[in-house]
Amino acid sequence: MIKLVRVDHRLLHGQVAVSWVNGIGADCILVASDTVVNDPVWKTTLKLGKPAGCKLVMKNIADSISAINSGVTDKYKLIVVVQTIADAKRLADGCPAITSINLGNTKESSTTKQVSRQIFLEPDEIEMLRELDARGVECEIRPMAADSKTNAITLL
């Protein structure tokens, strides 16, 4: 059962490993990234940040979609972490079970619009979020599990 789909360019770190795992009672983290699965340094780093008692799985986006849709992940209280809004959209496009996306932390650049303390969006990402929202996928900003949700669409 998917408990959380989170966009965070840092992937697995203190907020995910402690706040979110404990806050929602997760027992498995799926890092869905085409980049990470081919990068031994990323993989090693993520393994070091894995909380005790929580399974860590790393798959590319296509394999993550297949795993979620096959039901093999249903036995877990799952957090899915992706690096980008584009990756979250690909997951949501491929997985009807994804009905909510948490925006946790995105990178700032000269072309992004800041919509919250930790969320910076490119113009195409704003359109992706609007498309997801129009389809009924909740797009919320919440840095930590104990924080209140903010509807991302209201900030665009």
Break the chain into its structural domains and give their ranges: 2-155
Q: pLDDT (tens digit, 9 = 90+) per residue, 25-41?
A: 999 999 999 999 999 99
Q: pLDDT (tens digit, 9 = 90+) per residue, 99-114?
A: 999 999 999 999 999 9
In our burial notation (b when 16+ CB lie closer than 10 A, e otherwise), range 61-100 reads beebbebbeeeebeebbbbbbbbbbebbbbbbebbebbeb
**Is the domain 2-155 a CATH 3.40.50.300 member?**
no
pLDDT value at residue 14: 73
pLDDT value at residue 117: 93
Q: pLDDT (tens digit, 9 = 90+) per residue, 51-105?
A: 889 999 999 999 999 999 999 999 999 999 999 999 999 999 999 999 999 999 9
